[in-house]
């Protein structure tokens, strides 16, 4: 622990990956500021302003040569973070100090950097999301035919398969991936819009030449890896962009929370478990316990991220005219922590989905405990085919179901509904016929086919298109 006497964010010490932490670090932020100043100077030089190639070269050579002490001391005097870094960059580049930030306002570096960081962070989220989908796809395919109890209202319902349930998790993650891809494709730089978005300062520099002002923006965008800049703005890009990006992250959190909650319940049923390491301790008091702590952590972090999406929403709704500064303090916390939170969630999900444990005998036993109730319609239909009265049979099944239910719930006995039916001549059924009906595989509908079709038609194309980023693993601090 590096700071034992002051607060450190658990996102940094416990949850988020070094990769995502770097994207929201001072080094990433301020080197990106400098890359933007280089792009601005280069474009201004090429468009004929009094900026020399030597000045551009000096700026470029010192992008990573940041003296934070110089910037810190300067900010104590000027009380302005951008101007303190303009000053520090000028100290490192004395021949170029007079042209740094020429024509720009603070949001030129601040907002453009925020967009660049969100783009890079969304790419990390995308990569990890696809790896989770890949893990779950393999799992779904492996267990596509294994009958399992399905639940509505958390009460046993018709059967599904273990693999079919996994496709429900995958489907929501694919929805999130679609939204993440849309956000990445939609991101645009602010560009060089000036103090109120009118580009007045650049019109002054270029003596009223609108074509050069527009060309300047396009050159900067291309150098920073973007196709376009926002068409109009005040001083800042619309804060709805932050709200939309965080909404996409919130969607990932929702899907992750649903998965984690399902897993926690299944682990309580002893049907499935998250990975449990050889030396892992489940409880400080109860040595036998195997708590679903990874999925509990997903639930906890997902709750945080889902609530965090409100921050940029309120910020977007309370910007006045061309800009106010009540966005800054909230924005730098909420956006960063939204990404750090989802990064942590996906790290855990990669770990969990890569080592899911299924207990087939428990799954089968739980199915067989409920299957007699589900098989009654088939039993009744067979009896009708043999000449039975459908209404009388239905009433008798209702009566026996109540008796069997009482035996299970009140007396703690096994479900004896099949035995009650076998003993009643009204149903005209032999034990061999009963055994044939009582095969769980007959009650899963198209589950197995649905899994195969879904994986082939919707999942595999995504995995095939992203082969270069698959098979990633995640180390957890647990």
Q: Which of 80, 186, 210, 283 is catalytic?
A: 283
228 and 48 in contact (C-beta within 8 Å)? Answer: no
Active site residue 85: no
Q: Which of 153, 211, 268, 284 is catalytic?
A: 153
Active site residue 153: yes
Q: Alpha-carbon distance 354 to 407, whole Å?
A: 41
CA angle 470, 471, 475 (to 5 degrees): 125
Q: Alpha-carbon distance 331 to 115, whole Å?
A: 12
CB atoms within 10 A of CB 440: 20
CB atoms within 10 A of CB 115: 23
214 and 199 in contact (C-beta within 8 Å)? Answer: no
Altogether, the residues listed in the chain come to a count of 478
CB atoms within 10 A of CB 384: 14
Nearest to 305 by CA among 241, 243, 246: 246
Q: In Å, how far from its chain's centre is CA 32?
A: 25
Q: What is the CA radius of gyration of the chain?
A: 31
Determine how β-strand 155-161 pairs with β-strand 357-358: unpaired
User: Active-site residue numbers?
Assistant: 153, 283
């Amino acid at each position: 622990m590096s700071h034992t006497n002051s607060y450190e964010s658990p996102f940094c010490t416990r949850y988020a990956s070094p990769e995502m932490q770097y994207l929201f670090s001072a080094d990433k932020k301020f080197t990106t500021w400098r890359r933007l100043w280089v792009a601005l100077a280069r474009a201004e030089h090429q468009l004929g302003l009094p900026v020399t190639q030597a000045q551009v070269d000096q700026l470029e050579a010192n992008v990573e040569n940041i003296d934070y002490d110089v910037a810190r001391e300067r900010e104590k005097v000027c009380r302005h973070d951008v101007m303190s870094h303009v000053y520090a960059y000028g100290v490192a580049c004395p021949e170029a100090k007079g042209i740094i930030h020429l024509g720009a306002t603070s949001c030129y570096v601040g907002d453009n950097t925020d967009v660049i960081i969100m783009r890079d962070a969304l790419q990390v989220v995308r990569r990890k999301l696809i790896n989770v989908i890949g893990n779950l796809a393999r799992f779904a395919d492996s267990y596509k035919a294994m009958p399992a109890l399905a639940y509505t209202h958390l009460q046993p319902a018709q059967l599904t398969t273990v693999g079919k349930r996994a496709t429900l998790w995958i489907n929501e993650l694919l929805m999130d991936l679609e939204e993440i891809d849309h956000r990445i494709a939609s991101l645009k730089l602010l560009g060089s819009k000036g103090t109120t978005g009118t580009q007045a300062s650049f019109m002054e520099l270029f003596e009223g030449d609108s074509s050069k002002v527009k060309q300047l923006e396009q050159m900067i965008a291309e150098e920073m890896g973007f196709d376009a800049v926002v068409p109009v703005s005040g001083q800042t890009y619309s804060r709805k962009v932050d709200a939309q990006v965080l909404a996409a992250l919130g969607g990932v959190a929702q899907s992750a929370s649903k998965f984690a909650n399902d897993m926690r319940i299944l682990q309580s049923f002893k049907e499935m478990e998250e990975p449990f390491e050889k030396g892992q301790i489940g409880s400080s008091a109860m040595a036998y316990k195997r708590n679903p702590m990874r999925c509990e952590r997903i639930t906890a972090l997902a709750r945080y991220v889902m609530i965090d999406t409100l921050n940029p929403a309120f910020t977007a709704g309370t910007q006045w005219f061309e800009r106010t500064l009540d966005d800054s303090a909230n924005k730098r916390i909420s956006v960063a922590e939204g990404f750090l939170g989802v990064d942590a969630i996906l790290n855990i999900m990669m770990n969990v989905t890569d080592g899911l444990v299924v207990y087939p005998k428990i799954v089968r036993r739980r199915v067989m405990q409920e299957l007699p109730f589900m098989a009654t319609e088939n039993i009744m239909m067979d009896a009708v085919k043999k000449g039975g009265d459908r209404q009388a049979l239905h009433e008798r099944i209702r009566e026996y179901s109540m008796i069997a239910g009482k035996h299970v719930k009140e007396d703690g006995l096994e479900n004896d509904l099949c035995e009650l039916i076998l003993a009643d001549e009204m149903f005209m059924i032999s034990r061999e016929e009963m055994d044939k009906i009582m095969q769980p595989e007959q009650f899963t509908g198209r589950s197995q086919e649905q899994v195969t079709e879904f994986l082939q038609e919707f999942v595999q194309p995504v995995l095939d298109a992203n082969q270069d980023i698959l098979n990633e693993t995640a180390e957890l601090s647990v």
